[in-house]
Amino acid sequence: MIRKNKLQAYRQKINHYYLANEQEQINILLSVLKDYPNSVIQQQAHTLVTGIRAKKAQQSLIEAFLHEYQLNSEEGILLMEMAEALLRIPDAATQDVFLQEKLGSADWYKHRLHSDSLLVNFATQTLDLTGKFERQFKTDDLSQSLFLQLSARLGLPLIRSALKQAMQQLAYQFVIAETIDKAMQKARRSEPYLYSFDMLGEAALTTSDAERYYQAYQRAIKTLAEQVNPTALYKNPSIFIKLSALYARYEPLQQQQAIPQISTKLLCLVKQAKAANIAVTIDAEESERLELSLSTFTN
């Protein structure tokens, strides 16, 4: 009973800070960090930034591309979305529709000639040109047939194909592989490194989605189990599990149904991983789902 009361008190405290004033909390934390004076932090930051800028000429094409299209820009976020999605879209026709929608929705022109890399500037001009074509394509039904003929002559399909390849190369900077088997093959080529595998885009929208992701987690753990050291837990590859992948309605109003079903599936996966000597990390959800996550852990 005492343990339950303590857990309840902790939960209430967490809920109290859910909508806390961020600036006030930052000031409180800064007052605690007395061993980290601002002058030392600024000097360290200056050293790091200066060192990075000094090696600017040595950056790879991908690094130069990401420097131009940073994640604090609309275009940078859009490129990341395209890169991740193209790895998960199975057919070329759907990829084309997806690219048509995304390429015409951003302002690529403002990035023209901003980069020190000639290839990045060329890529920007290609994105800008293709985006303009895609926006023109959406104008009206009457002009679409003429536009399709014109775009075919101008090589728009070739441009779109090149963009697909470029986005896939960009995606592989962040996504190691499309399947757990291919991921393990790449991991074996880099023996000094340890890996924790996270399956992207696995939020379930339907019951069949949730079952498919559950089975995918089972297969992934089984695949990892074939490569592990039975006595060295922290040297073995591990896996991330996303709770919202295990139930389609992982939301507060559905907690009475969601928590028992998620808990049952999660327990089975954790037991499977434990038997294989594989560590499991529960992936973070949005902040509004924290209460659900805590309830799942205490269920």
Q: Which amino acid is at 290?
A: L
| Angle, vertex CA 72, rays to CA 282 and CA 118, nearest 5 | 120
pLDDT, the chain, mean? 76
Instruction: Using only the alpha carbons of the chain, give its radius of gyration.
Output: 24
The CATH code that applies to domain 180-298 is: 3.20.20.220
Residue 3 — very low, low, confident or very high, per pLDDT cuts 50/70/90? low
Rounded Cα distance, 94 and 86, in Å: 9
Is residue 170 within 8 Å of residue 83, measured between CB atoms? yes
What would the DSSP string read from start to end of 199-258? -TT---SSHHHHHHHHHHHHHHHHHHHTT--TT-GGGS-EEEE-GGGS-TT-SGGGHHHH
> What SS3 state is found at 104?
coil
Mean pLDDT value of segment 167-184: 73
Of 21-30, 72-81, 121-130, minimum mean pLDDT range: 121-130
User: Nearest CA to 242 among 180, 195, 207, 286?
Assistant: 286
Return the exposure string of 178-198: e unless at least 16 CB atoms fall within 10 Å of the residue's CB, then b: eebeebbeebeeeeeeebebe
pTM value is: 0.63
Of 110-114, 216-220, 222-226, 293-297, minimum mean pLDDT range: 110-114
Q: What is the pLDDT of residues 59-70, one digit of tens each?
A: 666 677 777 777
Q: What is the pLDDT of residues 245-262, one digit of tens each?
A: 999 888 888 888 889 999
Cross-strand bridge partners of residue 197: 239
Q: What is the pLDDT of residues 258-279, one digit of tens each?
A: 899 999 999 999 999 999 898 9
Mean pLDDT value of segment 95-113: 70
Cβ neighbourhood burial of 111 (10 Å; 0-12, 13-18, 19+): buried
Question: Domain coordinates of the chain in residue numbers?
Answer: 21-54, 59-171, 180-298
Rounded Cα distance, 299 and 286, in Å: 20
